[in-house]
Amino acid sequence: MMMGFIWVVIFLIIFGVLAYHRASLAIWTICFVLLLIFVTRFCGLTIATIFCWIVFLSFFTLLNLSVWRRRFISQYLLNFYRIVMPTMSRTERQAISAGTVTWEGDLFCGNPNWNKLLSQPSARLTEEEQAFLNGPVETLCKMINDWDITHNRLDLPPEVWNFIKENGFFALIIPKKYGGKQFSAYAHSQILIKVGSVSITAGSSIAVPNSLGPAELLLHYGTEEQKDYYLPRLAKGEEIPCFALTSPVAGSDAGAMTDYGIVCWNNYDGKKTLGIRLNFNKRYITLAPIATVIGLAFKLYDPEHILGSKEDIGITCALIPRNTPGIQIGRRHFPLNTAFQNGPIQGENIFIPIEWIIGGWEKAGKGWPMLMECLAAGRAISLPASAVANAKILSYAAGAYARIRKQFNMPIGRFEGIQESLARIAAYTYIMDSARTCTAAAIDAGEKPSIASAIVKYHVTEFGRKLACDGMDIHGGKGICLGPRNYLGRSYGATPIAITVEGANILTRNMIIFGQGVIRCHPYILSELEAARLQDPKAALIAFDNVMIKHIAFGMSNVVRSLILGLTSSFIVQAPKGRMKRYYQQATRFCSAFALISDVSMLVFGGSLKRKESISARLGDILSYLYLLSTVLKHYHDQGENIDDLPIVRYACLYCLFEMQERFDEIIKNFPNRWIAIILKVLIFPLGKGFAKPRDSITHKAAQLLLSPTESRQRLAAGSFISASSENVMADIQDALIKTIAAESIEKTIKTAKKDGCIMGYNMMEQAKSALDKSIITSAEFDIFVQAEEARNKVIAVDDFANEELIRTGR
């Protein structure tokens, strides 16, 4: 009896080791042959050992002989797979196939190689890019008066528009041979952050020509003739582009687009010309009111079969000059009281030559994959940069303001409620900056990370929305009174804009991050889908069998790994040494658990999983927080692992781990099959939930880093416009912070003297004068105190206006 128990234990140990390390089928077979030989040698040919040999030979022979395996296992699984696999529209298939898979694919594998991540090139600026930031970008920021732009003009002033055009701000992504800058994605992001930290209007106006639009589409898909004509003109600012995709009935659902074109012949410039008769109604188009060339997405039809046998050709993109007869353009939307140019475009019965299709008629019907390929990279740059710009300014200003501003006779930064907000600002800003920096580096390495870009766009803009509220909580009335002194109000009001564009955030979270991510990033799902769609039965079975056997082993491994890593709290995971080691280990544990729960969810729900949006969204959250945690660890490594930053980095890591834990728990609690839910809970949390929100001690330490002019605070704000300038409120805040800190000991002396009855006065200034008269403080100390008071009053002041001053002027 005891010997049998021992052999069972040995069996389980061998099984666990092989599954944990994802051994090949050959290794499994050899190991169990050796085990059975040893069992037979020590126990003899008993009924039990004979039974074990029979089971082993039957099972492993079936697995190792591919012909039998395909006939008796894979064929039935393939038939089942074809029943449950999701149906996908053409636009869905095109969206899924767009872009490339980067680190998020490693996370899906359940056992990421952290050294691979850390060895990837970090984001760097060239000398030319840094010079552009230090020169034209710095100058532009000093030229901008955002109050004048947003209140008086509702537009950039002419001199700013001219400076932007003349200095190549519209040419960041255009190659040098066409007169462009040919900057990296990281430089592109850095430029948008610096400009966006001063003005949302200016930042958005620069972002659009360098984002999803005519220039990028031309670069990747345009004919040489189109490139040679348009790109130099775009680079010089002679042409202002916009791109019209959204229509009243088709926002995130491009497949519902009603804008259409009919292939036909018509007279154009006195000649019979093959072209397209267009009818469209677009809205929410940034730069449309001032655009000179319009990128247009529409559905193309060929009822007369001029181009071929197909009538429904598909979504197509074309470039159309503004002065084309029939285009209605120029009116403006007014998105949340911001001043960037945005408006509708309509066209009725407009004829354009077929050569105006981007890439020529050969690209007809290929517009959607073209857009998705460009969006796969661009979605990680423009909108995240805008959110990071606001976060950086807030991290620089909020702590300083909390040190400067006093209530109840002490700085509000000493209140724990304020410290909670400050710690979130510091940690979220760090996460946001890490995510956009690491993803930009991947793009510069040649990737088009479609899923990573969706993660970054969604979470960075959502973090931005949360931080806007924290900033307002700290600043109170200072934040809500608009005027030249207000550095929060416009960004707070405009926060929802980034939430709604380039894929609404609800759609991105509920349907894209996991819905598309599981197909693109899972090591086997896409190959299985492709095999199941093959028309040749034999080829389909062979292809499916080759992937299926690996997928089964992968699933077994994740079951074992999840349980073992949960029981050992992941201490056995090999991870990079250093202060962050435990976070690498815990992330690995959750990677295995994520791979497990993803496979179980797909097995249980099948093709209906994409309609189980709450489950899918939570699975997407887990993938997202794994990615964000990875970028935090990578960013901390790339920045030299500054010890001073540890409170912020630890807060960020603990936050990500806690959020992952809660999403696992929510999925398990809402899983429809309760028996499977119980098993999942045992496998993923065998010792219970072990993660909590960051402790108060970490919160306090993180907040303190923003309450003083620390290097950590400076690193968080790096890249935003914080230069000393007469027009820059941030310079006033920094000046007041330094002077306030210098005067704190003097204030303490004055307060002590007042408490002891040594001086008189009804306010601090009168008390300071009394202290000076009685030689309690020196004249030098008095001057320091006065300078601090003047600087403090300048920062906490808010704007007020006569009624007539609030009437917009300058238009």
In eight-state DSSP terms, residue 272 is E
Residues sharing a CB contact under 8 Å with residue 445, sequence separation 6 or more, in sequence order: 120, 121
Q: How is residue 349 written in tokens? A: 């019965």
Q: How is residue 731 written in tokens? A: 């310079």
d(CA 438, CA 380): 10
| Catalytic annotation, pick one of 104, 216, 447, 502 | 502
3-class DSSP assignment, residue 449: strand
Instruction: Please calculate the CA angle 136-142-145 and round it to the nearest 5 degrees.
Output: 130
Identify any residues that bridge with 411 across adjacent strands, giving them in sequence order: 406
The residue type at 357: I
Between the alpha carbon of residue 561 and those of residues 49, 598, 683, 696, the distances in Å are 29, 14, 9, 33
Task: Give the residue from 421, 391, 486 showing the smallest Cα distance to 146.
Answer: 486
CA torsion angle for 464, 469, 475, 480 (degrees, to 10)?
100
Identify any residues that bridge with 351 across adjacent strands, giving them in sequence order: 277
The residue type at 472: M
Residues sharing a CB contact under 8 Å with residue 659, sequence separation 6 or more, in sequence order: 621, 625
Between the alpha carbon of residue 740 and those of residues 98, 488, 698, 707, 776, the distances in Å are 53, 22, 25, 11, 19
Task: Give the residue from 651, 649, 624, 622 showing the smallest Cα distance to 638.
Answer: 649
Q: Is 502 a catalytic residue?
A: yes
Residues sharing a CB contact under 8 Å with residue 550, sequence separation 6 or more, in sequence order: 523, 524
d(CA 664, CA 622): 8
Please check whether residue 208 is in contact with residue 275, taking contact to mean a CB–CB distance below 8 angstroms.
no
Buried residues in 508-530 as b, exposed as e (16+ CB within 10 A): bbbbbbbbbbbbbbbbbbbbbbe
**Residue 232 burial (CB count, 10 A):** 17
Helix (H) or strand (E) run with residue 15 in it: helix 2-20
User: Which residues are catalytic, by number?
Assistant: 502
